[in-house]
Amino acid sequence: MAIPITRPFFGEREMLAVQEPLKNGWVVQGPHVEKFENMFSTFSGATFSVATSNCTSALHIAVAALGLGAGDEVVVPAFTWVSTANVVEYMAARPVFCDIDLETFNINAEKVEELTSPRTVGIIPVHLFGLCADMDRIGEIAQKRSLWVIEDGACALGARFHERHAGTFGEMGCFSFHPRKSITTGEGGMITTDREDLQTLARSLRDHGASRSDLERHEGAASFLLSEYNLLGYNYRMTDIQGALGCSQMERAEWILGERIRRARRYDEMLAGVDWLKTPAVPDGYVHGYQSYVCLFCPEEPTPANIEALHRQRNRLMIDMEGKGIATRQGTHAPVIVGYYARKYGLRPEAYPNAYMADRISLTLPLYVQMTDEEQETVVRELEKSFEQTR
């Protein structure tokens, strides 16, 4: 693609950083991972950070650490990447889907409480595309009903709500460093928490349930002795090569996020007169991290009656853009219409009208820090042309 949907930013610093573990020979989870965790805590304000192999494994560890069990229920948004719900399924528990607010693409906090039952143990709000969910309201419900909260902050680096960074509101937060995210380690994830017991448990669960890490074992006395394994854990460790890459990306995080905000604001201005596209909302009190710049394609007010026609029209526009070498994407998907969930729980899109509409008519525009003004102008100009040609 001449203009891709995103592009990771790597410079000389990253090229040198990944060589360090290769040169010293310690390539599994080690000192660079530890440094990356500390940098992440400093950046986010979380007390503890625990790096993992990706955000899905971070979420899996989080639900396991909080004791999610068979038959429990967890409220999750109906529009999110499928792993938010999958980790609940991994524990033989049941995800209860809550519709979203179409303005923000986030869980409709006003609907969460009515979905709770005596079996509900937790809520996993998602800070989708870099905008925090309404953590005040979710916190109130969680407190009232004695539920835990895990923040799915896969997209939420740089996302703030009332000046607090994502991942510092609930019991645990989980982040992703997949290349679609603002900073990347190839694959990678991070758990944040303020609770020492949870960080200790998370460290053990990511490492087969071991009582001490390989590095501690090798650096300490009696390194020939294996750890104790009193928990059923997983191998969800991050490599030190990724850790080194993560450190160098963290050094640029403020700059990367600042550049993304600057580009997003420029899109806001350039698209202000385009009445068929709704640009991302940023309500008062929120800082958007702009992991993605996700719009709604709405030449007409979307309704259940016209949504399929709008969906087809959006797809024609996206195909036309693709033909010109400009990538666009739907925001994410609605797990309620994903085969596994629709079949298993007999879910119907009508029960989640906003999630369904977001699935059908969301439209992500290219955003990356290396993007030039000319590229951004090309995206907007060609978008308007494609709209006219495909309407």
Ligand X SMILES: Cc1ncc(COP(=O)(O)O)c(C=O)c1O
Q: Which residues bind ligand X (CB under 6 A)?
A: 54-56, 80-81, 83-84, 126, 152, 154-155, 176, 178, 189, 332
Give the nearest distance from C-beta 76 to ligand X in angstroms.
Answer: 10
d(CA 246, CA 261): 21
Among 374, 259, 277, which Cα is nearest to 318's?
A: 277
d(CA 127, CA 329): 18
Query: What SS3 class is residue 365?
Result: strand
Give the nearest distance from C-beta 174 to ligand X in angstroms.
Answer: 7
Q: Which is nearer to ligand X, 55 or 271 (CB)?
A: 55
Give the nearest distance from C-beta 196 to ligand X in angstroms.
Answer: 25
Q: Which is nearer to ligand X, 102 or 317 (CB)?
A: 102
For the chain, the straight-line distance linking the first and the last C-alpha, in angstroms and rounded, comes to 24
- Whether the CB-CB separation of 97 and 85 falls below 8 Å is answered with yes
Give the nearest distance from C-beta 332 to ligand X in angstroms.
Answer: 6
DSSP output for 14-60: HHHHTHHHHHHS--SS-HHHHHHHHHHHHHH--SEEEEESSHHHHHH
Q: Which is nearer to ligand X, 36 or 276 (CB)?
A: 36
Q: Which is nearer to ligand X, 295 or 383 (CB)?
A: 295
Which segments of the chain are extended strands (E)?
48-52, 73-77, 94-98, 120-123, 148-152, 160-161, 164-165, 172-176, 189-193, 277-278, 286-287, 293-297, 362-365
d(CA 201, CA 197): 6
Give the nearest distance from C-beta 130 to ligand X in angstroms.
Answer: 10
Give the nearest distance from C-beta 188 to ligand X in angstroms.
Answer: 7
Give the nearest distance from C-beta 391 to ligand X in angstroms.
Answer: 31
Structure tokens at 327: 């990538």
Q: Which is nearer to ligand X, 83 or 239 (CB)?
A: 83
| CA distances for 362 relative to 102, 302, 375, 385, angstroms | 10, 11, 21, 19
d(CA 376, CA 273): 16
Helix H or strand E segment including 86? helix 83-90
Q: Which is nearer to ligand X, 189 or 349 (CB)?
A: 189
Q: Which is nearer to ligand X, 93 or 317 (CB)?
A: 93
